[in-house]
Amino acid sequence: MQSQKLDSPAIVKSAGDRAECSSTKATGEIDMEPRVTELEAHLKYIRRDMDEVRGDVKSIKHRLAYSACGTAVILGLLGWIANSRFEQVISLFLAH
């Protein structure tokens, strides 16, 4: 087994910035900072898209509620008209 030289990172604190690690990377080691930044950006876009989806779902719920109420009113009016005309048709048949 080959031994790898692992130096401990030197922590350098910048004014107002977070601590940065300055060390030599061992073979096969990947710098995680760009990947984390990319994931944070993706997460931000996913959250924005989810907020849009929530707004769309609320809009659809309101439209369905208004449509259901409108349909109930129209069916009620049609039933009332059919009921009143039905009595007139029965009275015409009975008159002759």
User: What local confidence, expressed as pLDDT, does residue 25 receive?
Assistant: 58
Q: Looking up tokens 């031994």, which residue turns up? A: 3
Q: How far apart are CA 2 and CA 95, in angstroms?
A: 112
pLDDT digits (tens, 9 = 90+) for 7-16: 444 444 444 4
Enter the tokens of residue 13.
């604190």
> For position 83, what pLDDT does the model report?
79
Higher pLDDT, 49 or 18: 49
- Which tens digit of pLDDT belongs to each residue from 47-85? 999 999 999 999 999 999 999 999 999 999 988 887 778
Neighbouring-strand partners of residue 11: 21
Tokens of residue 7, six digits? 């130096």
